[in-house]
Amino acid sequence: MEHRKRNTRQLRPAMCYSKIENRHPASPSAIVIGAGFAGIAAARALHDASFQVIVLESQDRIGGRVCTGHTFVFPVDLGASCGDNSVLYYHDLESYALFDMDGNQVPQELVVKVDEAFDSILKETDEVRQGCNEDMSIQRAFSIVFERRPDLQLEGLAYKVLQWSFLQWRVGSVSPWGHGLMVRGLPLRYKHTRERVSKISWHHDEGRVTTESGATFVADAAVVKAPLDVLKSKSIKFEPRLPKWKEEGISDLRVRIENKIVLHFEKVFWPKVELLGAVADTTYGCNYFLNLHKATGHRVLVYMPAGKLAQDIDKMSDEVAANFAFMQLKKILPDSSPPATSALYPGSV
């Protein structure tokens, strides 16, 4: 159960109780499940609308997939690191270098050529989908474009660069607005349930939320901001059952997985660019390292695999995952990669 403060404004104590007869009817009440950014935003909006709010969170921190690690002597974003008004440094992702798996840097003129081809592919793919009267998968649209425009398929090193572009576009790893580093956290105080919500029921215009231990919270409304993978696992039981269209929507949605493995070195040996990318024959072999030295002054690279590769790395132990990241770095910088002095693997984000 959470009681939280944002800047100088305070959420009023929530009027949600474990016994219905003790509820105070003066103003509407709501339970928000999940203290990620979506849950916090929902709680703020409800509070501003004069609701009395409880936020339930099973972890011992807020923020969900956004969190800061202090394993090193400096803070590192372990989850999402994109922001707008709270940014310490705005990474210029136009500053990057791509390498093949033999450690050869891809000529910049080739990167520009592939970028132009990739833009054409995306434009024609959109036109194909817009011109179709029925829903069409992006994969099918890509196939049609390549059938019409075999000149866009590319070969050799250009094909590998194209695969890297496809991976970054598909998972959104390199966003058009770049990566932002948060300068400071929100001064929030909170309590937490230390357990997950197991059941959400709605009867007689009242919402009842039950945790794994049997603790029950009652309110006029419940807002579910639990992660998609929690909803997909069906660990939360709904009474009455969710509508079929909503269950199908949850089932059909896919969770984008991207990992962060933080590598700390004794010295800087990499190029003075924001991003070091590795190109390969397939999107599975493509990945990149984010250079935090320019932004923080610390000798840090963050390995950021995505897609199926990230899923496979998720199955590794922390030590094996960190060693895998270092070996990927050795492939693109074979002559100048000293072992990392320390590493941090927080898991998928």
Domain boundary among 206, 226, 252: 252
Q: Do 331 and 275 fall within a single domain? A: yes
Give domain status of residue 73, yes or no: no
Considering only CA atoms, which of 307, 313, 287, 347 is closest in space to residue 170? 307
Asked if 34 and 228 touch (Cβ cutoff 8 Å), the reply is no
Q: DSSP letters along 121-137, please?
A: HHHHHHHHHHT-SS---
Domain closes at, from 207, 234, 252 = 252
Give pLDDT tens digits for 168-204: 887 655 444 344 444 444 333 344 556 789 999 988 7
Q: Are residues 215 and 114 in the same domain?
A: no
Rounded CA-CA distance 308/320 in Å is 17
* Domain assignment present for 77: no
Burial bucket for residue 58 (CB in 10 Å: 0-12, 13-18, 19+): middle
Q: Has residue 74 been placed in a domain? A: no
Non-local (6+) Cβ contacts of 298 within 8 A are 72, 74, 264, 292
Write down the mean pLDDT value for the chain. Answer: 79
Are 57 and 176 within one domain? no
Q: What is the DSSP string of 261-313?
A: EEEE-SS--S-SSSEEEE--SSGGG-EEEEE-HHHHSS-EEEE--BHHHHHHH
- Residue 341 domain-assigned (yes or no): yes
The per-residue pLDDT for range 258-297, each reduced to its tens digit, is 888 888 898 899 988 888 999 999 988 999 998 988 777 8
Q: Which residues are paired to 237 by β-bridges?
A: 199
Q: Which token pair is 260? A: 């962060």
Q: Do 41 and 53 share a domain, yes or no?
A: yes
Give the burial string for 78-100 (b: 16+ CB within 10 Å, else e): bbbbbbeeebeeebebeebbbbb
What CATH number did the domain enclosing 311 receive?
3.90.660.10
Check whether residue 119 and residue 41 sit in a common domain: no
Looking at the fold, whether 164 and 289 belong to one and the same domain comes out as yes
Q: Are residues 263 and 148 in the same domain?
A: yes
What digits encode the pLDDT tens for the residues 34-78?
A: 888 888 888 888 888 888 888 888 887 777 777 777 776 667 777
Predicted confidence band at 242 (pLDDT cuts at 50, 70, 90)? very high
Q: Measuring CA to CA, how many Å separate 201 from each of 58, 214, 340?
A: 19, 13, 50
Q: Are residues 154 and 108 in the same domain?
A: yes
In this structure, is residue 171 part of a structural domain? yes
Sign of the CA dihedral 258, 173, 230, 227? positive
Does 172 share its domain with 292? Answer: yes
Cβ–Cβ under 8 Å, residues 293 and 302: no
Angle 170-174-175 from CA coordinates, rounded to 5°: 90
CB 208, CB 197: distance < 8 Å: no
Residue type, 89: Y
What the block records as the tokens of 343 is: 């590493």
**How far apart are the C-alpha atoms of 183 and 154, rounded to whole Å?**
42
Q: What is the DSSP code string of 22-77?
A: G---SS-EEEEE--BHHHHHHHHHHHHTT-EEEEE-SSSSSBTT--EE-SSSS-EE
> Is-contact 262 274, C-beta < 8 A?
no
Note whether 123 and 139 are same-domain residues: yes
Residue 68 lies in a domain: no
193 within a domain of the structure (yes/no): yes
Beta bridge partners of 202: 207
Helix (H) or strand (E) holding 9: strand 9-10
Average pLDDT value for residue range 240-266? 87
Report the number of distinct structural domains present in the chain.
2
| Percent of residues, the chain, with pLDDT higher than 90 | 28
The string of DSSP codes covering 167-191 is HHHHHT-S-TT--EEESS-------
Domain boundary among 220, 252, 284: 252
Q: What domain range includes position 241? A: 5-62+188-252
| 247 and 269 share one domain | no
Burial of 187 (0-12, 13-18, 19+ CB in 10 A): exposed
Q: Is residue 67 part of a domain?
A: no
pTM score, whole prediction: 0.69
275 and 341 fall within a common domain? yes
**What CATH number is attached to the domain comprising 247?**
3.50.50.60
